[in-house]
């Protein structure tokens, strides 16, 4: 308890890289105030199960699924489960698709080629992975086998689905790279001088999802730290 409020631990997440003064990993813990003098009493387990069926998962999987919701977010938008369909995987493990223009006006940019997402909704469940822009479809397409991490709620049938943007493509670095490669434009000098980050898992998945050969993706990863490439 803290200041007369009851706090319940919901999730904890370790960063991939060491942080802090002593270069150690600092776990980020998320608590929810479930009772207090100025708060309605919350039944945390009941409310979580209204989001999706966490209770149907093993005790080992529940913390892992909850920490997906601790991911840093660029933006959150909402759609409905009726605008989503499930597809079989065909070389697109961990990747789904969205109609080009579906997210126009959402988030920091007007349009996207791909988005790394977390998705949750009572009538949908919990999902994580990549969404790639695709022509000639009219619904969000989710690879059920690899993207769904928890089934729909058994106690709520609300139709909303929250789409959490974790990363987007093109990002600022991608735009600067495009300017660098375009003979009529130029990237920021500071960008050209910086050591470039290795191609991220998000971008590798995007290329594989669009059908680029794995050997070509791996070769590109090795060159991606050099702005000249």
Dump strand ranges (E) for 37-153: 75-80, 84-87, 95-99, 114-121, 125-134, 140-143, 148-150
Do 6 and 34 touch, CB atoms closer than 8 A? yes
Q: What is the pLDDT of residues 32-46, one digit of tens each?
A: 899 998 888 999 999
Q: Three-state DSSP class for 196?
A: coil
CA 4 to chain centre: 35
Tokens of 122: 């009572």
pLDDT of residue 185: 54
Give helix 214-223 / helix 201-209 axis angle, nearest 10°. 150
pTM (2 d.p.):
0.72
Q: What is the pLDDT of residues 139-161, one digit of tens each?
A: 999 999 999 999 999 999 999 99
Q: What is the pLDDT of residues 66-81, one digit of tens each?
A: 888 887 888 899 999 9
Q: What is the pLDDT of residues 95-104, one digit of tens each?
A: 999 998 888 7
pLDDT at 183 over 70: no
Alpha-helical regions (H) of the chain: 44-51, 61-66, 144-147, 172-181, 189-193, 201-209, 214-223
């Amino acid at each position: 308890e803290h200041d007369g409020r009851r706090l319940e631990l919901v999730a904890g997440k370790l960063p991939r890289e060491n942080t802090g003064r002593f270069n150690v990993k600092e776990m980020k813990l998320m608590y929810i105030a479930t009772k207090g003098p100025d708060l309605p009493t919350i039944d945390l387990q009941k409310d979580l199960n209204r989001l999706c069926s966490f209770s149907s998962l093993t005790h080992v999987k529940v913390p892992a699924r909850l920490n997906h919701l601790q991911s840093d977010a660029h933006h959150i938008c909402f759609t409905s489960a009726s605008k989503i369909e499930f597809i079989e995987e065909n070389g697109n493990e961990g990747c789904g698709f969205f109609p080009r223009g579906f997210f126009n006006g959402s988030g920091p940019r007007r349009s996207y080629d791909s988005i790394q997402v977390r998705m949750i909704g009572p009538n949908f469940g919990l999902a994580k992975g990549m969404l790639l822009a695709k022509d000639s479809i009219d619904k969000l397409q989710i690879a059920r086998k690899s993207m769904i991490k928890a089934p729909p709620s058994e106690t709520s049938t609300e139709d909303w689905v929250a789409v959490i943007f974790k990363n987007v493509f093109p990002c600022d670095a991608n735009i600067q790279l495009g300017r660098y490669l375009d003979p009529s434009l130029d990237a920021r000098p500071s960008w050209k001088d910086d050591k470039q980050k290795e191609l991220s898992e998000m971008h590798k998945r995007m290329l594989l999802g669009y059908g680029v050969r794995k050997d070509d993706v791996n070769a590109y990863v090795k060159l991606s730290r050099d702005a000249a490439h």
